Structures are given as C-alpha cells and as structure tokens.
A and B are shown apart, each in its own frame.
Chain A
Amino acid sequence: MPDFSPEDNKLALKVVFYGPALSGKTTNLMQLHSLLNPERKGELMVLETRDDRTLFFDMLPIGLRSHSGLDLRLKLYTVPGQVQHDSTRKAVLSRADGVVFVADSQVAQQDNNAIAFGNLEDNLDKVGLDIDTLPMVVQFNKRDLPAVVDEAELQARWAGTPWAPLAMASALQGTGVIETFQALLDRLYTGIDAEFDLAGKHSIDRSTFIGRLSASHGVDDA
C-alpha cells in the first residue's frame, strides 16, 4: 500500500518484479537502472550469492518532486525466484503497490511460469493483497531466444485475463523493458490518483506520471 508521510510530503510506492527463477527479473532491473533517466535515481542494490543468483532481493529507488513539493518515490524490487526463498518473497511482496510478473518465454519454462504464478497468487493472498485488483503487468521475457512460445499464441491464451495485453521483452537486449515498466506505471496511476489526487493537488496527470518516472537517456523528461 502507498506509504504517505504528510510531515515531509513524501509518497513512497513499491513495485515488485516477481517470477520463476532465472526468468530475467534482475536483468530487467539492471536495464531500467541503465536505461532510465528519471529526475532522481538511486543506486541499484544487488544482493546476490556468489553464483549470481538473487539471495534476498535487488532494489532500485527512483523518484520525482512535483511543483507542489510532493516527494514521490518508487522502489523497484525483485524477489529471489528459487523455491526455497518463499519467506523472503513474501516479505518483499508485502505492502506492494504493483507487480511485474516476469515470465520466461522458452517453451521448456512454461511449467515453471505456471508454478511461479500460482505462488504469486498464494503469497498475495497471505500478505492480504488481491491479485484481481492489484496493478500488474505480465511480461514474457527472452523473446530473443529461438525456442520461445509464439507471441500470438501467448496473447490469445491470456486474452480473457485482467493482464492482457502481455508485454514482450528481451531484458538482455534491453527491448520491451521500459515499455513493460510504463504499462505498469499506467495501471498504478489510476489507484494512486484516486487516493491522493495527483492530478488535482500536485499537477501530476497520467502522462506526466508515466513520462517523468520512465524518462530514458536522450529523451527530454520535462
């Protein structure tokens, strides 16, 4: 849930990158760190083990300050995908404002995607969040690989869900990462604006919200 502290006019939001192990969550975050150029961007904290697998989580803070003085923060987290880290996943997931589910497009990984999605449903339930109302984007990553499930087939399969259309990406090559993030910002904005009147009180309308938080290098972020 959004964490608003009126004394320093600070609104902190939490977005969690969820998904099976090795689907590319950390890579998504690393790409965002290097591609994004929002007004404010912190250090990417990567907490990994020796073999490069996420142990606790990765975290990237970004933010903007509105003319009204609102200090808007977005903390982007990844969870460890490996089965044994479920309690860490739950801890990171709690109080999330939005979720990016990073699925692996490879044909051989479809079972793992389903298991991870089921685990997301369970854990959202346990931390008191509702998967049907929580802003969420489903990304199918690794589109650059040869043995991937056909996009049309994936889109058709997910067409009846609240998460259509799916986002396609190759985090390794940096394509589709920002688009995924923007889609999430778009879904996130609705609820936040309803609760905090971002447009009315802070002159942050939808496109400002998305544009300023996802501004990339070489693009004017004004």
Chain B
Amino acid sequence: MRNFEDDPTLSDLLTPDQLQRLSNGLSALCRKPVEISENRAGDAVPVEFNLETVGWLSGGASDGEREAAAELVSFLMLFVAKYRLAANIHHDTTEASYAELQRQNEALRASEAKYRELSDQLQQKVDEQVDVIRQTQQELYESARLRSVGHLAAGVAHEINNPVGFISSNLRVARDYVQNLEPLLPETLENRELLEDFQDLLSESIEGTDRIASIVADLKTFSSIDQADNALCDLNSLLRSACHLVQTEHDHRLNITENLAELPRIPGHPSRLSQTLFNLLDNAARAVGDDGRILVRTLADNTGIQVIIQDNGCGIPETVRSQVFDAFFTTRPVGSGTGLGLTVARDTVRAHGGQLTLDSQEGAGTRVVVSLPVQQGS
C-alpha cells in the first residue's frame, strides 16, 4: 500500500472522466483545444504539483495559452490533492486504529481464555482437595474403628489367654486324675457311669477352652496387633479369621463354604486387609439372611491372587449399583451400617495395587472379586 504522503500521480487525483471534462472546459476557453495527459507530447508543458510533474498539457493556440491552462490545472490540483491527502491519512489512521482495536481485542480474548483456564485449573484443584479430604476422612474413620477393634482384641487376648491357658491345662490334669481314680473305686455300675460322665464333662470343657483359645487367636490375627503395618500376609489365614468373626457376629447361623487354594504370601497391611475381607463377608452375610449360602474361594496364578466372595442373597438393584462405591452410601436401612464398607474395601484393594470388581443381580446374589498382585508396584 502507498503511504498517504507519497506524491500522487495524475490518475490518483482525477478519474479519466474528470480529466476529460477538465480538458473540455479548458479547450472551450482556449482558442485551440488542449489535452492533459500523463505522457509528454511534442509541445507539452508540465503540470506541476508539489514540485512534482504530475502530467503534461499540450495543444492550445500559443505557449501563453498552454502555460495559463497548465497553471490553472496546477491550481485545481492543489484542492483535489488536499482532499486526496486528507482522505488518505484518514484511511490510514482509521486502519491503524482498527488494527490496534483488533489487537487489543485479541489480547483481551487471550487473557480471558487464560483466566478461564486458570479458573478451570482452580476448580480441578478444589475437586482434588475435596477428594483428598474425603479420603482422609474415610481413613480416619476406618483407622479409628480398627484401633478400637485392635485394642479390644489385644485386651481380650491378654485377659483371656492366661485364664484359658490354666483352665485348659488344669482340665487336662483333672482328666488324668479322674483316670487315676478309676482303679481305686469299687467296681460298680453306678461308679463307672459317674466316672464316664465326669470324663465327658472334662472333655467337653477342654473342647470349650480350645474354642475360646482359637477365637482369641482369630481376634489377634484380625487386629494383627502383633504384626507390623507392612508385612507378608497370608490371605487364607486372614480370610479364615474373618469368617470366624463374621460367624460370631451372626450367631454361627451362616452357611459359609471355604474353598481355599494354596496362596503365596503377599506384602501388605494385614489389619486393613482383614477389615476389607470382614466387610465383604459381612455384606454377604447381611444379603443372604438366615438361609443363604456364602462361597469363599481363593485362587492363585503367577501374576496374582484372587479372593472371591459370592452369595446367593438379595443382590443389589441396578439403580443403586453405580452408587455402591460412594462413601456413606448404604442400601441397608439407616442405622444398620455405614455403607463405607465397600468404598473402604475398594480403596484398600487399590492401595495394595489391586482391583475390586462387583457383579450383582437383584434377587440372585452378588459376587465380589478381589485381585491382588503378588509383587506390588511391578
């Protein structure tokens, strides 16, 4: 584009029509016709504007006529050029202002986009923080519960273990004494029955103390009070303890079938895993009611191990299934449980590098599969 200040040419200043009209007018004033053109002809004199020859005027009857006509044209050019210059600079400055406006607009849009992005990032950060807080809340809740169970278990184990121990050993000694008494007593039917009864009483009591001892052992396993936070875990033994405890909680009315394969030990957090298995079994127990079946299976291959807990209970309605992992969600009536069970279970499994999948059909039952890698983080 030309600058507004570039020297104008004749055709910049006048259209061919205007030029023709000007020539006609001047011709009428002169004794012979004149012609204005951008090219120099034989007798032409220059038409000057701003020290610049913008055209040539030829024709006319004399030099004087030509010069006077050329001077008149120059005079006219001044006003035409004034307008042209004004129009050009107006055009230039308008364009420049518009370009500046567009640039500002662009900059504004860019900064708006930047702020929108920032606000999105902020929202995302807030969401992440909310997640962290929720997670921390869960863990707090869970660890408080585990701690109380752990304390209770530790207390019970401590309090009960000793008395059960000496009761159990006293009973065995007593049974020996009864045997020793047998030859010393007169051989009567009455005496024999008395002794046999006595033996049975002692045997049943010994059995009872054995059961107490095993419950105490389960509690100890479950709370893992004598284990480190990170240890090699025997999932089968954790599972057995959890089964016993769930039975205890449901008055031994549950029909649990255990089908446990040989498992490699996996590194993990024993008490959290116990809690997880307990939660899953407890869910199953609540789903089956009094006359259902719970099947507990473990499998292992070279990539990992699987724990499958399957029940033929009420199942989870389709509408609720997507929500079952939401913290605090529960399908059970208010007050009967916190719904945290599945969420905590899933989070715990994930924390161990594994996966928890849920497969449920309303009225037919639920199957939960916990997959855990043998080697974490690889």
Please list the residues of chain A having a beta carbon within 8 angstroms of any beta carbon in chain B: 14, 40-43, 45, 47, 55-57, 59, 61-63, 73, 75, 77, 87-88, 90-92, 95
Residue from the list A14, A56, A61, A62 in contact with B89, Cβ < 8 A? A56
Q: Which residues of B contact A75 (CB under 8 A)?
A: 5
Given contacts A14-B5, A88-B93, contact A47 B86 (CB under 8 A): yes
Q: How far is the CB of B273 from chain A (nearest CB, A)?
A: 71
Q: Are A57 and B89 in contact (CB under 8 A)?
A: yes
13 intermolecular pairs with C-beta atoms under 8 Å apart = A14-B5, A41-B51, A43-B50, A43-B78, A45-B50, A47-B86, A56-B85, A56-B86, A73-B51, A87-B93, A87-B96, A90-B93, A91-B89
Q: What CA separation (Å) do A203 and B136 show in the bound complex?
A: 90
Q: Are B93 and A42 in contact (CB under 8 A)?
A: no
Q: Are A42 and B51 in contact (CB under 8 A)?
A: yes
Q: Are A61 and B51 in contact (CB under 8 A)?
A: yes
Q: Which residues of A contact B81 (CB under 8 A)?
A: 45
Q: Is B151 an interface residue (CB 8 A)?
A: no
Q: Which residues of B contact A59 (CB under 8 A)?
A: 5, 85
Q: What CA separation (Å) do A61 and B54 show in the bound complex?
A: 15
Residue from the list B3, B78, B93 in contact with A45, Cβ < 8 A? B78
Interface residues in B43-83 (C-beta closer than 8 Å to A): 49-51, 78, 81-82
Q: Which residues of B contact A55 (CB under 8 A)?
A: 86
User: Hey, what's the 0/1 contact readout for B3-36 against A, CB within 8 Å counting as 1?
Assistant: 1110000000000000000000000000000000
Q: Are A42 and B50 in contact (CB under 8 A)?
A: yes
Q: Which residues of A contact B92 (CB under 8 A)?
A: 91
Q: Are B51 and A63 in contact (CB under 8 A)?
A: yes
Q: What CA separation (Å) do A56 and B89 show in the bound complex?
A: 8
Q: What residue of chain B has the Cβ atom nearest to residue A57's Cβ?
A: B89
Q: What CA separation (Å) do A47 and B3 show in the bound complex?
A: 18
Q: Which residues of B contact A47 (CB under 8 A)?
A: 82, 85-86
Q: Are A45 and B85 in contact (CB under 8 A)?
A: yes
Q: Is B250 an interface residue (CB 8 A)?
A: no
Q: How far is the CB of A179 from chain B (nearest CB, A)?
A: 24
Interface residue SS majority, chain B: helix
User: Hey, what's the 0/1 contact readout for B84-105 against A, CB within 8 Å counting as 1?
Assistant: 0110011011001100000000
Q: What residue of chain A has the Cβ atom nearest to residue B4's Cβ?
A: A91
Q: Which residues of B contact A42 (CB under 8 A)?
A: 49-51
Q: Are B96 and A90 in contact (CB under 8 A)?
A: yes
User: Hey, what's the 0/1 contact readout for B215-252 against A, CB within 8 Å counting as 1?
Assistant: 00000000000000000000000000000000000000
Q: Are A61 and B50 in contact (CB under 8 A)?
A: yes
Q: What residue of chain A has the Cβ atom nearest to residue B100's Cβ?
A: A87
Q: Are A56 and B90 in contact (CB under 8 A)?
A: yes
Interface centre among B78, B90, B93, B97, by most A CB within 10 Å? B93
Q: Are A87 and B97 in contact (CB under 8 A)?
A: yes
Interface centre among A43, A59, A88, by most B CB within 10 Å? A43
Q: How far is the CB of A180 from chain B (nearest CB, A)?
A: 22
Q: What CA separation (Å) do A62 and B97 show in the bound complex?
A: 31
Beyond A40-B51, A61-B50, A87-B93, 16 additional contacts (C-beta under 8 Å) are A42-B49, A45-B50, A45-B85, A47-B86, A55-B86, A56-B85, A56-B89, A57-B89, A59-B85, A63-B51, A77-B5, A87-B96, A88-B89, A90-B93, A91-B4, A91-B92
Q: What CA separation (Å) do A91 and B81 show in the bound complex?
A: 18
Q: What residue of chain A has the Cβ atom nearest to residue B83's Cβ?
A: A47
Q: How far is the CB of A218 from chain B (nearest CB, A)?
A: 22
Q: What residue of chain A has the Cβ atom nearest to residue B74's Cβ?
A: A43
Q: What residue of chain B has the Cβ atom nearest to residue A43's Cβ?
A: B78
Q: Which residues of A contact B4 (CB under 8 A)?
A: 91
Q: Which residues of A contact B50 (CB under 8 A)?
A: 42-43, 45, 61
Q: What CA separation (Å) do A57 and B86 show in the bound complex?
A: 9
Q: What residue of chain B has the Cβ atom nearest to residue A45's Cβ?
A: B82
Q: What CA separation (Å) do A41 and B51 show in the bound complex?
A: 7
Q: Which residues of B contact A57 (CB under 8 A)?
A: 89
Q: Which residues of A contact B85 (CB under 8 A)?
A: 45, 47, 56, 59
Q: What residue of chain B has the Cβ atom nearest to residue A77's Cβ?
A: B5
Q: What CA separation (Å) do A43 and B51 show in the bound complex?
A: 9
Closest 8 CB pairs of A and B: A87-B93, A42-B50, A42-B51, A61-B50, A61-B51, A56-B89, A91-B93, A63-B51
Q: What CA separation (Å) do A42 and B82 show in the bound complex?
A: 13
Q: What CA separation (Å) do A14 and B3 show in the bound complex?
A: 13
Q: Which residues of B contact A90 (CB under 8 A)?
A: 93, 96
Interface centre among B50, B86, B97, by most A CB within 10 Å? B50
Q: What CA separation (Å) do A28 and B92 show in the bound complex?
A: 26
Q: What CA separation (Å) do A90 and B100 show in the bound complex?
A: 13
Interface centre among B4, B5, B82, B89, by most A CB within 10 Å? B5
